[in-house]
Amino acid sequence: MTGFYRDGYCRTGPGDYGLHTVCIEVTADFLAFSRSRGNDLSTPLPQYDFAGLVPGDRWCLCVTRWKEALDAGMAPRVALASTHISALEFVSREELQEHAVEEEAND
């Protein structure tokens, strides 16, 4: 997993205008959805130290993109323990819990 600051955390701060606060488990369906919305997350961009995502990766996603995917019925699973609390300013705890990765959904 990475993050906006490439430090392994879904934290946010003054330079993170996209609010990369939701830790997702990437799926092929979500990558296709994101690409259809103009955000290709699977193509490597070495100039940004970005290798591209593949299904199964964990990624700190912009909370507004996750909400957009949720509204379209395409929301990927969420790693709750790695998701920043500020995501709750945009989505509910219940919405996140409904999409929790399996090992966390049973806790």
User: In the predicted model, what is the mean pLDDT of residues 44-70?
Assistant: 93
Which band of pLDDT confidence, cut at 50, 70 and 90, is reported for residue 1?
low
DSSP collapsed to 3 states, 36-56: HCCCCCCCCEHHHCECCCCCC
pTM passes above 0.95? no
Contact predicate 81/104, CB 8 Å: yes
Question: 50 - beta bridge partners?
Answer: 45
User: Which amino acid makes up residue 96?
Assistant: L
pLDDT tens per residue, range 31-55: 999 999 999 999 999 998 788 999 9
Domains in the chain (CATH in brackets) are 20-102 (3.30.56.110)
Burial 3-26 (b: 16+ CB within 10 A, else e): bbeeeebbebeeebeebbbbbbbb
